[in-house]
Amino acid sequence: MDILLYGHDGRGLGHVSRSVAIGMALRRIYPHLKVCVLTGCSQTQELIGDIPLDWIKMPAYDTVVIDGKSAGIEGPGGFEDKELGQLRAEQIRQLVSLYRPRLILADHTPQGKHRELVPALELETEDRPIWVLGMRGIVGSVAQVGSRVAADLYQRYFSALLWYGDATVLGNDHLAVLADRFAVEPVECGYVSRLIELVSAAHPSIITRYGCTLSIPWFGEHTDRFFDRLIEAIGLMGPDFGRFRIFVGHDDISSCRQKLEGLDFCSLERFGPHYVEALYSSRSAVVFGGYNSLVDVLSLGIPTLAVMRDMRDHEQQEHLETLIRAVGNRLTAVLENECSVEQLYTLLVDRMKADIDPFALPVNLGGAEKAARALAAIL
């Protein structure tokens, strides 16, 4: 194998989506390279769609958010969090031994979740892989990233660091933090957009068919109440604004469906290939404010209401505030646990009526291609 792309999994899709996007770019630009994504995320194939990119599925982690803090719980396979970390560590070591990748890109810590990359890092073979670390635009305060273990492992085993951010938007502080933490000059790639890769492959025509596409990738401690208020606001709007397509995770379909009774202009769907088509053909969008979702809507130039979860680290809030200053009327934000039906109604109508130029975007979204070219150059 030429390149193995490790995507941290657990709650959101950001890490895996970035790994998939870079894999898509590699296969597009360098079709002769053998490239594979390694993750536990069960939605990976839905992210890849019809692009010729393969992936290896590990048993998945799962997390729960309590009082704004994320914690590991028993995964869907029945394994306890720490036990699964030990099993996956051995699985990754064996996979690296078997496939002998020339280069491994890890998103987003040198050690991996529960240090599951360490046994593979410590493999003593003649054809040791080149290790590269990929970091999201907002570095954040994740303890595992800022730990002495992370810094030591980077110094011992890693050869380069890719930063998936745009300094013209986020400033130079994140680059400085990474340079100081890992004693390396990061490669600034720009934001990584999976949708740009998908759209460039499909060449769809731009036809507005729907009023709004709504994305709720996972339900946290406040999401049920938020969803109730959101549906009430949509009911007040009625069908005049067009069809609402609402995408939720597999486990949430049943509980959400009964709340849409009587709203014939709304559809409830699982995430899959239709999500991209719906988003591409919508007048507006409602997404939660993670890296992946924000880059999706920015790449398509859709007026968006971004919902912020009440997390202790406040990373989403800080990132959104920074992006809003850069992109203006493209993004409007609301707190998941503090918004009212009336506020949601007003914001949704505003998004429907917003007039923006989808091609005049002051954010670098070419991170997937820049990262792919950087990895190929390292090889």
85 with 140, same domain? yes
pLDDT at 49: 87
Dist CA 34 CA 356 (whole Å): 40
3-state secondary structure 240-273: HHCCEEEEECHHHHHHHHHHHCCCCCEEEEECCH
Selected residue with higher pLDDT from 89 and 145: 89
371 with 242, same domain? no
The encoded tokens of residue 112 equal 């991996």
pLDDT at 84: 93
166 with 277, same domain? no
Tell me: pLDDT of 264 over 90: yes
Q: Are 14 and 295 in contact (CB under 8 A)?
A: no
12 with 110, same domain? yes
The encoded tokens of residue 378 equal 């390292």
| pLDDT band, very low/low/confident/very high, at 316 (cuts 50, 70, 90) | confident
How many domains does one find in the chain? 2
The parent domain of residue 219 ranges over 204-353
pLDDT at 335: 93
23 with 170, same domain? yes
Dist CA 348 CA 182 (whole Å): 43
For 159, half-sphere exposure in the C-beta direction (CA atoms, 13 angstrom radius) is: 15
Comparing 275-279, 320-324, 353-357, which segment has the lowest mean pLDDT?
353-357
pLDDT digits (tens, 9 = 90+) for 280-291: 899 999 999 888
Find the mean pLDDT for residues 352-377: 90
| pLDDT band, very low/low/confident/very high, at 176 (cuts 50, 70, 90) | very high
* Residue at 199 is within a domain: no
Q: Are 259 and 228 in contact (CB under 8 A)?
A: yes
180 with 250, same domain? no
| pLDDT band, very low/low/confident/very high, at 77 (cuts 50, 70, 90) | confident
| pLDDT band, very low/low/confident/very high, at 142 (cuts 50, 70, 90) | low
The encoded tokens of residue 156 equal 């011992």
Tell me: pLDDT of 326 over 80: yes
Percent share of the chain, pLDDT over 70: 93
Indicate the average pLDDT of the chain. 90
Residue with tokens 């025509």: 205
Dist CA 154 CA 135 (whole Å): 13
Dist CA 282 CA 244 (whole Å): 9
**Residues of the chain by 3-state class (helix, strand, coil), percent to 5:** 45, 20, 35
* Residue at 306 is within a domain: yes
pLDDT at 360: 73
Q: Cβ atoms within 10 A of the Cβ of 205, count?
A: 7
* Residue at 340 is within a domain: yes
Q: Is 301 left (phi over 0), alpha (psi -120 to 50) or beta?
A: left
215 with 276, same domain? yes
155 with 219, same domain? no
Tell me: pLDDT of 350 over 80: yes
172 with 25, same domain? yes
Selected residue with higher pLDDT from 8 and 3: 3
Coil vs helix vs strand at 84: helix
144 with 228, same domain? no
Q: What DSSP state is assigned to residue 158? A: E
The model carries a pTM of 0.91
pLDDT at 328: 87
pLDDT digits (tens, 9 = 90+) for 214-259: 999 888 889 999 999 999 999 999 999 999 999 998 778 888 998 9
* Residue at 358 is within a domain: no
**Buried-exposed string 37-73: b where 16+ CB fall within 10 A, e elsewhere:** bbbbbebbebbbbebebebbebebbbbebeeeebebe
Cβ within 8 Å of residue 177, ≥6 positions away: 139
Cβ within 8 Å of residue 353, ≥6 positions away: none
pLDDT at 312: 65
* Residue at 251 is within a domain: yes
Question: What are phi and psi for residue 138, nearest 5 degrees?
Answer: -90, 110
Q: What is the CATH number of the domain that holds 209?
A: 3.40.50.2000
pLDDT digits (tens, 9 = 90+) for 182-214: 999 999 999 999 998 987 766 555 667 899 999
Dist CA 91 CA 85 (whole Å): 10
* Residue at 197 is within a domain: no
* Residue at 347 is within a domain: yes
132 with 23, same domain? yes
Tell me: pLDDT of 129 over 90: yes
Cis upstream peptide for 108 (omega within 30°): yes
* Residue at 155 is within a domain: yes
Strand partners, 308: 335
| pLDDT band, very low/low/confident/very high, at 141 (cuts 50, 70, 90) | low
pLDDT at 366: 95
Tell me: pLDDT of 357 over 90: no
141 with 253, same domain? no
Query: What sign does the dihedral 162-155-41-50 (CA atoms) show?
Result: positive
What separation in angstroms does the CA of 23 have from each of 7, 96, 187, 193, 236?
A: 11, 17, 18, 12, 43
